[in-house]
Amino acid sequence: MQTRGSISVIEVDSPPVNALSRDVRAGVSSAVVAANEDPDVVALVITCAGRTWMAGADIKEFGGPPLEPTFTRMIGVLDGSVKPIVAAVHGTALGGGLELALACHHRVAATGTVLGSPEIKLGLLPGAGGTQRLPRLIGPVAALDLILTARNVAADEALALGLVDAVVPSDELRRAAIATALEVAASGQPVRRVRDLSERIAPDAVPADLFTEARMNLSRSTPDLLAPQYCIRCVEAAVTMPFDDGVALERELFYELVDTSQSRALRHVFAAERRVKRPPGESASARDVQAVGVVGAGTMGSGIAMALADAGYRVHLVDSDRGALERSDTSAAARYQRMVGRGELSEAAARARRDSIGRSEELVSLRACDVVIEAVVERSDVKKALLRQVDEVLGADAIIASNTSTLDLDDLASVIGDPSRVIGLHFFSPAHIMTLVEVVRGRHTSPDALATALDMCRRMNKTGVVVGVCPGFVGNRMLLRRTAAADALLLQGAMPWEIDAALVSFGFKMGPYQMSDLIGLDVLWNRETTSSATIREVLCEQGRFGQKAGAGFYDYAESRRGAPSEQVADIVRGFARRSGQTQRAFGPDEIVDRLMAALVNEGAKLLDEGIATRGSDIDVVWVHGYGFPRHRGGPMFFADERGLDRMLASVEELGIPEQEPAPLLTRLVSEGGRLATYEPGVPSSG
Ligand code: T1G
């Protein structure tokens, strides 16, 4: 804290994002008290050093006992200030950071600032008075929008909303805030507290059906999530209750939410997504990559090319089939036009992005590339032949990446002169949309090739998760086990639609059989060798390839959603009978336990083998690549919440030879350890 003339400037400096930890709260509180007691001080300015204003409460503190001074106490100190306080905001003013600014009397923002209430992303609500002050300052409609969408608003929109009073160039922020403080102090007016505002919450200013409608929308969009429902109750209280009663309700509901499994799960995923950026033991720096080549203009190659172009790379897309190149150009052009239509891109930017993808039938066009990604057909012989050619064309330093999803990367790398520059970049379809990339570290992959691949993921706004080499890597290998567990349930009396319904009510967008019908059952079917040995073979033999054939595990005659099929039920019952296994009904919980147990058990094996680096990495793979519901935290986190002993029991019930209990799972059950925080060589926190 320093005093400029008669203005006290309180600067928070707590990198990396000035999170409002206990120490920061204590510092701000005592500085405000001191400034109010200092007769020379007429007004205060609060500002932050570094890249941003406070980006919220310190997430690491959640789940522990409330630490004094609490938010309520700190905000109370600001509320008690008789001298005007101006918040000088820059960077990302989020959550508790925004709430602190709302407890100040005036807000000046730097150009480029974003402001928001992202608490529901953590299964929480704005718990430092935000649900009561926001409606008073910007109206309940806008407040509800910000809180329920968790979207960030840019400074200009914040000015239009009345969330900030002025927007100034960054280098003028401190000066402008001090000038505002002096002006306000000189006006001799009493401080303008947001809590005292009432005009925008007056009954005639609030749409009568605002909260009913908000609840209806929620019941359609996210019926299972607690935090949004609690947020509506609080904002409604801002309109129906006195300020302090509203704050009391907010605090009560906040502390209820902070202990829920949903919030713990969402906080786990937040931390896990930051941890994957730092693979243990890796510290090499990424290379500067400008030009990237992609070989294969099929669905994956075209999607990868667009993801690279979106990130600003110069892209060289190569395919010996001119037709494929033209089709990929047409689909890229159509996509960019749709983005123009949605106002996401200008015409000029769309043209520039399209033009940033060069297309050629010649491999030599890749000569100047820093990185080349092959995305050709999933056949080892074809990939190896191509990689040999690429190796000859490229400079010695260039990195060679394979988008293989199942093949042995080390075997592919064996055809490259220097295998240390080979890495796997396993994108998920559609590659320009799906956020997950499994970054496959081969036996010889160099640290800087790995660092460069992770940096490319960061630039493409993808979540790169480092995995080792094995068939199916982390995601697909676990998926295979889940599919086998589901198929085993069919032989014990369950029906495909019962299994899907259980996973959908758990939070997945679709179950394994709906997924098979979407992808097409014939993708993995071999017409030559088919012998009615499995339910899937029989369905394919009957032409039930899935949605595209109008029938698969479901009938699609009536709707795209698919209806349970009596014909399929008969086929399933036939196989079940012939399996000689006891037939019985399975409830949704038991189905979920069985399928999760298959996932978790395989995940534990992947950790034991060092293919996965940490339990939380596996959760990131499933949340970003397989639609695992974020508010469930991922399979490993879910297992900890459900009880590893219960998971182990479900694994034993699977009775599938390849899925015997993983040693790690058995060990953690006996030690009382946790899978989600498990990291080989790092003591596990029970
Ligand atoms: N608390 C603690 N650490 C945080 C943090 C936070 N709020 N935000 C970021 N970090 C750490 C993060 O773990 C990483 O650390 C480093 O900062 C850089 O983050 C009472 C209840 C601000 C937009 O939800 O959205 O306030 O991994 O890698 O991509 O009502 O971080 O390097 O050790 O993400 O540039 C509300 C969360 C909290 C914002 C920057 N606030 N943060 O993104 O960097 S709840 C949020 C973000 C609350 C009140 C309530 C982003 C960012 P490390 P990063 P980035």
**Among the listed residues 46, 68, 51, 69, the one whose alpha carbon sits nearest the alpha carbon of residue 14:** 51
Residues near 596 by Cβ (< 8 Å), separated by ≥ 6? 635, 638, 639, 642, 647, 650
Best of 17, 125, 270, 278 for a ligand 1 pocket test (most atoms within 8 Å of beta carbon): 17
Chain segment 591-636, per-residue pLDDT in tens: 999 999 999 999 999 999 999 999 999 999 999 999 999 999 999 9
Q: Is 162 exposed, middle or buried (0-12, 13-18, 19+ CB in 10 A)?
A: middle
d(CA 475, CA 404): 13
pLDDT digits (tens, 9 = 90+) for 28-67: 999 999 999 999 999 999 999 999 999 999 999 998 998 9
* Residue 641: active-site member: no
- Over residues 570-597, the mean pLDDT reads 95
Ligand 1 atom at shortest distance from the alpha carbon of 94 = 41
Per-residue pLDDT, 278:
86
Residue found by looking up tokens 């302090």 in the block: 244
Average pLDDT over residues 466-482: 97
Q: How far is the CA of 58 from the centre of ligand 1 (A)?
A: 8
User: Cα(377)–Cα(381) distance, rounded to whole angstroms?
Assistant: 10
Res 4 pLDDT > 70: no
What number is the average pLDDT over the span 381-395?
A: 96
Residue 478 has pLDDT above 60, yes or no: yes
- Tokens (6 digits) for 276: 């994957």
- 99 has catalytic annotation: yes
Residue 326 token pair:
């033209």
The CA-atom distances, in angstroms, between 111 and each of 158, 301, 424, 427 are 11, 38, 40, 36
Alpha-helix runs per DSSP H in 42-120: 71-79, 96-103
With beta carbons less than 8 A apart as the criterion, state whether 547 and 562 touch. yes
Per-residue pLDDT tens over the stretch 124-145: 999 999 999 999 999 999 999 9
**Helix (H) or strand (E) segment spanning residue 86:** strand 85-89
Do 593 and 646 touch, CB atoms closer than 8 A?
Answer: yes
Q: Return the residue whose CA atom lies nearest to atom 54 of ligand 1.
A: 274
Distance CA 296, CA 488 (A): 37
**491, 464 contact by CB (below 8 A):** no
SS3 at position 183: helix
Q: Distance, CA 95 to ligand 1 centroid (Å)?
A: 10
Q: Give residue 402 CA to ligand 1 midpoint distance, Å.
A: 33
**Residue among 61, 99, 172, 558 flagged as catalytic:** 99
Distance CA 478, CA 483 (A): 9
Predicted confidence band of residue 3 (pLDDT cuts 50, 70, 90)? low
Return the pLDDT at 683: 63
The separation between CA 3 and the C-alpha centre of its own chain, rounded to angstroms, equals 43
**Separation of alpha carbons 271 and 343, rounded Å:** 32
Are the C-beta atoms of 537 and 544 separated by less than 8 Å? no
pLDDT of residue 282: 66
Bridge pairing between strands 114-116 and 291-295 = unpaired
Residues in contact with ligand 1 by the CB-under-6-Å rule are 16-17, 19, 55-60, 71, 92, 94-96, 99, 118-119, 122, 124, 126-128, 130, 274
Nearest protein Cα to ligand 1, atom 40: 17
Sign of CA dihedral 230, 236, 238, 241: negative
By C-alpha distance, which of 356, 301, 364, 350 is closest to 328? 301
Contact 85, 104 (CB under 8 A): yes
Bridge partners (DSSP) of residue 20 are: 57
Q: What is the spatial distance between Cα 674 and Cα 676, in angstroms, rounded to a whole number?
A: 6
Q: Whose CA is nearest to atom 30 of ligand 1?
A: 126
User: What is the model's pLDDT at position 2?
Assistant: 64
Triad 258, 508, 403: Cα angle to 5°:
110
* CA–CA separation, 390 and 392 (whole Å): 5
C-alpha 55 – ligand 1 centre gap (Å): 6
**Mean pLDDT computed over 650-660:** 91
52, 70, 132, 274, best to mutate for ligand 1 pocket (most atoms within 8 Å of CB) = 274
Task: Place 684 in a pLDDT band, splitting at 50, 70 and 90.
Answer: low
Inform me whether the pLDDT recorded for 355 exceeds 60. yes
Angle at 467 between CA 602 and CA 502, to 5 degrees: 40
Share of the chain above pLDDT 90, in %: 93
The secondary structure of residue 441, as a DSSP letter, is -
Integer Cα distance of 35 and 32 in angstroms = 5
The predicted-structure confidence for 283-316, as pLDDT tens digits, reads as follows 789 999 999 999 999 999 999 999 999 999 999 9
The two structure tokens encoding residue 69: 């001074």
User: Is residue 402 helix, strand or coil?
Assistant: strand
Q: Give the CA distances from residue 524 to residues 301, 519, 530, 631, in Å, rounded to whole numbers and listed in that order.
A: 21, 10, 11, 32
Parallel/antiparallel/unpaired status of strands 106-110 and 166-168:
parallel
* List of residues 6+ apart from 525 with CB closer than 8 A: 536, 537, 540, 545
Share above pLDDT 70 across residues of the chain, in percent, rounded to a whole number: 98
Across 228-237, 263-272, 556-565, 633-642, least confident range: 556-565
> Is the Cβ–Cβ distance between 90 and 43 less than 8 Å?
no
Q: Which two tokens stand for residue 323?
A: 């037709």
Each residue's pLDDT tens digit, 183-194: 999 999 999 999
The secondary element (H helix, E strand) that includes residue 2 is strand 2-4
Catalytic residue among 11, 61, 68, 119: 119
How many CB atoms neighbour CB 93 within 10 A?
Answer: 33
Would you list the DSSP string of 248-299? Answer: HHHHHHHHHHHTSHHHHHHHHHHHHHHHTTS-TT--PPPP---EEEEE--SH
Per-residue pLDDT at 394:
94
**3, amino acid identity:** T
Name the pTM for this structure: 0.95
The 10s digit of each residue's pLDDT in 169-211 is: 999 999 999 999 999 999 999 999 999 999 999 999 999 999 9
Q: State residue 53 phi and psi, 5-degree precision.
A: -60, 170
- Over residues 556-585, the mean pLDDT reads 92
pLDDT at residue number 628? 98
Per-residue pLDDT of 56-113, as tens digits, reads 999 999 989 989 999 999 999 999 999 999 999 999 999 999 999 999 999 999 999 9
Return the axis-axis angle of helices 615-625 and 261-275, rounded to nearest 10°. Answer: 100
The alpha carbon of 575 and the centre of ligand 1 are apart by a number of angstroms equal to 52
Task: Give the model's pLDDT for residue 279.
Answer: 82
Q: Which residues contact 488 (CB under 8 A, 6 or more apart)?
A: 594, 654, 655, 656
Alpha helices (H) along 168-209: 173-187
- Residue 582 confidence (pLDDT): 87
What is the C-alpha separation between 245 and 243, in angstroms, rounded? 6
Q: Is the peptide bond before 430 cis (omega within 30 degrees of 0)?
A: yes
Q: What mean pLDDT, rounded, does the chain reach?
A: 95
Per residue in 403-456, pLDDT tens?
Answer: 999 899 999 999 999 999 999 999 999 999 999 999 999 999 999 999 999 999
Helices marked H in 311-446 — which ranges?
322-341, 347-355, 380-393, 409-413
Q: How far is CA 22 from CA 26, 68, 74, 100, 267, in A?
A: 6, 7, 10, 14, 18
Whether the predicted pLDDT of 681 surpasses 80: no
Task: Classify each residue of 12-24 as buried b or exposed e, where b means 16 or more C-beta atoms within 10 Å of its C-beta.
Answer: bebeebbbbbeeb
